[in-house]
């Protein structure tokens, strides 16, 4: 992935109105041979209204979730924040294999971006390593 494309992806993700939007679903699936993660959301649109939406993370290689579902529900499924990073401590940690890991040596995660979604505390977090994402606003009805 080239630098311009990386910066564009990071900028597009980081400009979405995540705060006070709602996480209503999480799905792992394959599109051909490609692993994907889909988040079903209620995103705040330009008018300040919640709109059904989907974020699909493409070419995923790693996903870590630590979500307290009861706390998420108690907080109205609200998202506190979301950010995309080219590098992070979490990405560095998951890039290193453990002594018992069947994948030894470098994992080759350098070209992936770290997408991080934080729920309102104590709801938890979702971290995804992927090459990109798409955002689709659904039309009601």
Helix residue ranges, H only, the chain: 3-14, 69-74, 89-95
- Range 4-20 average pLDDT: 90
Does pTM top 0.75 for this prediction? yes
Tell me the sheet residues that pair with 113. Answer: 130
- Range 124-133 average pLDDT: 97
3-state helix, strand, coil in the chain (%, to 5): 20, 45, 35
State the Cα–Cα distance between residues 39 and 55, nearest whole angstrom: 5
Band (34; pLDDT cuts 50, 70, 90): very high
Each residue of 63-118: pLDDT tens digit? 999 999 999 999 999 999 999 999 999 999 998 877 777 666 667 788 999 999 99
Domain positions in the chain:
3-137
């Amino acid at each position: 992935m080239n630098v311009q494309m990386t910066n564009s992806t990071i900028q597009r993700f980081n400009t979405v109105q995540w705060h006070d939007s709602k996480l209503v679903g999480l799905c792992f699936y394959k599109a051909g041979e490609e692993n994907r993660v889909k988040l079903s959301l209620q995103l705040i649109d330009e008018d300040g209204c919640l709109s059904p939406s989907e974020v699909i993370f493409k070419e995923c290689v790693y996903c870590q979730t630590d979500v307290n579902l009861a706390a998420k529900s108690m907080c109205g499924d609200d998202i506190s924040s979301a950010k995309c990073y080219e590098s992070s401590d979490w990405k560095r940690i998951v890039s290193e294999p453990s002594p018992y890991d069947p994948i030894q040596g470098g994992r080759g995660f350098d070209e992936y971006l770290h997408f991080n979604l934080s729920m309102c505390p104590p709801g938890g977090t979702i971290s995804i390593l992927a090459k990109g994402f798409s955002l689709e606003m659904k039309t009601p009805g």
